[in-house]
């Protein structure tokens, strides 16, 4: 059996001529110092942007590698992305490289997937979602004859909500209520019916329950039920079709590796295996970062990429205001399976919709229990990049949406985790992966408890604070502390929210705010 390349061989960072050639034009000796806590995508992107603006940046990461939730697990020659696997709106990633004058292609090899993914229904029918409109129309018509024109209307109306959502609520700082919801945006939102329920909105275009499910389940990317989500999140299926899904060769973890390489080239000091214990305060400012070993690191500014409720509770020793009233997203049960055979019919991405999606969502979001008939997602990235698994083998990533740990209704994952793993392996074999259990070479599972232990998720949630309309924009935790004027936040639980594009936007917005409020002396 031929082994896959090692992680460092895939990264392609050793021996780079660029590493020794820092951009001296950016090495301003009079810049202010910033300590960034956490080398997730948000922390890395913000560090790069701040360094480009002349700040001296030190990035502290408690793990031995960059990425945060966008992590990696390597076992028996298999490489698994442990976090996000869907790359949408790739222009926001390109924007970061363009902003600092570097070609993205020097750091990443990103390919577009075709098709995007396959949705499998309980009756055995399937829908392939693609960015090729003629093929997309054919797929829709096979499910619901005559629905093609309605699908085009759905895309057109979702495009309006996409533009309204990005321009009016997402892609700008929201320091005041007026920034978030002015009269013009409110009128546009009402006219576009962006506040009705997503599932109800989708049902206006499609009669077949399969299509209704296929074009509304995407709210689960935000940890929201499509039956409770506002219709403005129809921008997600629109984005998939209009912009496509992409994949960085080498795996999703190639992105934080690339950003860490770029940050290092620009002069950001990155320190791994360093855990921050607390923040030292003096009046209305944070004076220093205190490490586990007692080391005191003074800084002019601090930017926390740690999960925001955790940063308040642990680093500041104060709960986020009214945190008990906040809604958290759902969580996920993850399985990483390395198998010594191939399943040719699998695509890179696949989704299985349960027979009763409403009941499944109610179990997760209302009853806080593991569904008897769960939805699940299967990712098989070596279909796109064979180097991610040994020859003749496959790496299979499985995600099952499950409840987060609601106080008083916590699930005992030490008991339920093995049960769910066993039932999912049986379900996967029925799904079309025959003899799966006989071919597993290596495996690992990840529960909501692990989200808390590894990523400091307050309730084991997978997608940060929930993204209902009362917790987005101005109503989401702001990216600067209300009292400590030099403490800022970046990442999924601050504005604008979770997901790779949103976190990259978050890094730009907080950098713009820091530059405006904490100008570098010239």
Contacting residues for 235 by C-beta, under 8 A, at least 6 apart: 158, 161, 162, 165, 166
Beta strands 246-248 and 110-112 are antiparallel
Distance CA 108, CA 96 (A): 13
Distance CA 522, CA 511 (A): 18
Q: Say whether 131-244 and 47-110+250-324+464-517 share the same fold.
A: no
Q: Please calculate the CA angle 84-89-90 and round it to the nearest 5 degrees.
A: 80
- Terminal C-alpha separation, the chain: 59
Domain spans, the chain: 47-110+250-324+464-517, 131-244, 326-455
**CATH number of the domain at 131-244, please?**
1.10.405
- The encoded tokens of residue 87 equal 């790359």
Number of continuous H segments (helices) and E segments (strands) in the chain: 16, 19
How high is the pLDDT of residue 323?
85
pLDDT < 50 regions, the chain: 1-29, 521-522
Distance CA 315, CA 308 (A): 10
Looking at 2.60.120.10, 3.40.1800.10, 3.50.50.60, 3.40.50.1820, the CATH number of the domain 47-110+250-324+464-517 comes to 3.50.50.60
Distance CA 492, CA 197 (A): 23
Distance CA 479, CA 360 (A): 34
DSSP state of 306: S
**Other C-beta atoms within 10 Å of 266: how many?**
21
Q: Please calculate the CA angle 218-457-359 and round it to the nearest 5 degrees.
A: 40
Q: Is the peptide bond before 211 cis (omega within 30 degrees of 0)?
A: no
Instruction: Report the half-sphere exposure of 446 (CA within 13 A, side-chain side).
Output: 27
Q: Residues 422, 428, 429, 431: is their CA dihedral positive or negative?
A: positive
Question: Quick one: 519 exposed, middle or buried, by C-beta within 10 A (0-12, 13-18, 19+)?
Answer: exposed
pTM of the model: 0.90
DSSP state of 183: H
Q: Please calculate the CA angle 129-404-443 and round it to the nearest 5 degrees.
A: 65
Contacting residues for 157 by C-beta, under 8 A, at least 6 apart: 192, 234
SS (H, E, C) 61-125: CCCCCCECCCCEEEECCEEEECCCCCECCCHHHHHHHHHCCCCHHHCCCEEECCCCEEEECCCCC
| Greatest distance between any 2 Cα atoms in the chain | 68
- The encoded tokens of residue 284 equal 């209305």
Three-state DSSP class for residue 338: strand
């Amino acid at each position: 059996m031929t082994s896959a390349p090692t992680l460092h061989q895939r990264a392609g960072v050793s021996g780079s001529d660029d590493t020794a050639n820092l951009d001296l034009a950016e090495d301003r000796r009079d810049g202010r110092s910033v300590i960034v806590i956490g080398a997730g995508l948000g922390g890395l992107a913000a560090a790069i942007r701040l360094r480009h603006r002349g700040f001296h940046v030190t990035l502290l990461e408690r793990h031995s590698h960059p990425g945060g939730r966008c992590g990696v697990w390597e076992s028996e020659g298999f490489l698994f992305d442990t976090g996000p696997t869907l790359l949408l709106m790739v222009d926001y990633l390109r924007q970061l490289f363009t902003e600092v004058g570097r070609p993205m292609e020097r750091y990443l090899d990103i390919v577009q997937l075709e098709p995007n993914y396959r949705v499998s229904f309980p009756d055995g029918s399937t829908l392939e979602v693609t960015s090729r409109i003629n093929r997309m129309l054919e797929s829709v018509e096979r499910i619901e004859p005559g629905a093609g024109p309605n699908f085009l209307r759905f895309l057109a109306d979702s495009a309006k909500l996409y533009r309204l959502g990005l321009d009016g609520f997402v892609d700008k700082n929201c320091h005041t209520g007026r920034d978030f919801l002015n009269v013009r945006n409110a009128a546009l939102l009402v006219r576009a019916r962006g506040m009705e329920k997503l599932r109800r909105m989708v049902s206006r275009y499609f009669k077949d329950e399969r299509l209704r499910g296929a074009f509304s389940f995407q709210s689960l990317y935000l940890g929201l039920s499509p039956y409770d989500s506002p219709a403005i999140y129809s921008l997600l299926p629109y984005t998939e079709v209009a912009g496509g899904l992409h994949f960085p060769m080498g795996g999703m973890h190639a992105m934080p590796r690339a950003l860490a390489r770029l940050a290092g080239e620009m002069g950001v000091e990155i320190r791994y295996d360093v855990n921050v214990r607390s923040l030292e305060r003096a009046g209305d400012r944070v004076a220093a970062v205190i490490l586990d070993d007692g080391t005191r690191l003074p800084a002019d500014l601090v930017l926390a990429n740690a999960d925001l409720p955790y940063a308040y509770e642990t680093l500041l020793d104060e709960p986020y205001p009214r945190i008990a009233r906040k809604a958290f997203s759902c969580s996920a049960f993850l399985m990483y399976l390395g198998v010594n055979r191939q399943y040719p019919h699998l695509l890179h991405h696949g989704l299985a919709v349960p027979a009763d999606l409403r009941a499944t969502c109610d179990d997760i979001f209302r009853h806080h229990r593991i569904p008897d008939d769960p939805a699940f997602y299967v990712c098989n990235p070596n279909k796109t990049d064979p180097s991610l698994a040994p020859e003749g083998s496959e790496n299979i990533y499985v995600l099952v949406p499950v409840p987060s740990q609601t106080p008083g209704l916590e699930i005992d994952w030490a008991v339920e985790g093995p049960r769910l793993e066993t039932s999912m392996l049986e379900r996967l074999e029925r799904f079309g992966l025959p003899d799966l259990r006989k071919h597993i070479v290596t495996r690992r599972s990840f529960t909501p408890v692990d989200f808390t232990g590894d990523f400091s998720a307050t309730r084991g949630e997978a997608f940060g604070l929930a993204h209902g309309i009362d917790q987005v924009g101005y109503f989401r935790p702001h990216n600067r502390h209300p009292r400590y004027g030099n403490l800022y936040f970046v990442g999924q639980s601050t504005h604008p929210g979770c997901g790779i594009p949103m976190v990259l936007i978050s890094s730009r917005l907080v950098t713009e705010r820091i530059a405006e409020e904490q100008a570098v002396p010239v």
